[in-house]
Amino acid sequence: MKIITVSREFGSGGREIGKRLADELGFTYYDKEIISKIVKENRFDDILDKDVENDIPLSFGRTFATLSFFRNSAVNMIVSEQKIIRAIAKRGENFVIVGRSADAILKRYKPCNIFVYADMQSKIKRCKKRLEKHETLTERDIERKIKQVDSARRKHRDLISTDKWGDRKNYHLCINTTGLDIKGVVPSVAEYAKNYFQQKKL
């Protein structure tokens, strides 16, 4: 089974890379929205019915702060997500998954882990293009939003693993999309992943 995980800075085009990679390689595509939908619709009832505490990842409970945080519903959501992600992997199909610290959750399957990033100006520009017509965010607002989202991603990751979000050691390939059109970048990433799976005999 071949798995590609894509982690990314907000606004770096990581999700587009993930989607295009899935298309190019003929893999199934998953991201936050798709997984949240599965969780909300209780589509994996048999898996989610089990006692949530049985599946608490190792990094929980290390400090008093995380212990108290553990009791709130956001954490239950994270644990449900983890179960869904593991259940997806158990199906055995090849897939690309964007976000959700899937690289840490799926470690045992030796996924090809990609990190996508860019400089702030480039991320702001990309976000501006995606704004709906009625949205009137200034560049400063967008920058604040980018920092908030990435900070949340960093924290999400800290709850699941001691390997830090964005630290290149945890990824096989880190791609800087500053000033680049995503479409042109994808073939080289697909090529990298193909060689990775071949060499790792996956």
Which among 79, 72, 76, 86 has a CA at the least distance from the CA of 30? Answer: 86
- Comparison of 38 and 185: residue with beta carbon closer to a second copy: 185
Tell me: does residue 165 bind a second copy (CB under 8 A): no
Q: Which residues have a Cβ under 8 Å from the Cβ of 107 and sit 6 or more positions away?
A: none
Q: How far is the CB of 124 from a second copy (least distance, A)?
A: 16
Binding track, positions 54-93, relative to a second copy; x by CB under 8 A: ----------------------------------------
DSSP H helix total and E strand total for the chain: 9, 5
Tell me: does residue 180 bind a second copy (CB under 8 A): yes
Tell me: does residue 169 bind a second copy (CB under 8 A): yes
Tell me: does residue 176 bind a second copy (CB under 8 A): yes
Tell me: does residue 200 bind a second copy (CB under 8 A): yes
- Comparison of 2 and 83: residue with beta carbon closer to a second copy: 2
Half-sphere exposure of 69 (CA within 13 A, CB side): 18
Which helix (DSSP H) or strand (DSSP E) does residue 155 occupy?
Answer: helix 139-160
Q: Which stretch binds a second copy (CB under 8 A): 48-56, 70-78, 139-147, 184-192?
A: 184-192
Q: Distance between CA 40 and CA 16 in Å, rounded?
A: 24
Core vs surface per residue 10-43: b (16+ CB within 10 A) or e: bbbbbbbbbbbbbebbebebbbeeebeebbeeee
Q: How far is the CB of 179 from a second copy (least distance, A)?
A: 7
Tell me: does residue 195 bind a second copy (CB under 8 A): yes
Tell me: does residue 154 bind a second copy (CB under 8 A): no
Q: Which stretch binds a second copy (CB under 8 A): 12-20, 37-45, 65-73, 111-119?
A: 111-119
Where would I find the H helices in 26-98? 32-40, 45-48, 64-70, 73-90
Q: How many residues bind a second copy (CB under 8 A)?
A: 28
126, 181 Cβ separation under 8 angstroms:
no
Residues that bind a second copy (CB under 8 A): 115, 117, 119, 166, 168-169, 171-176, 178-181, 184-185, 187-189, 191-192, 195-196, 198-200
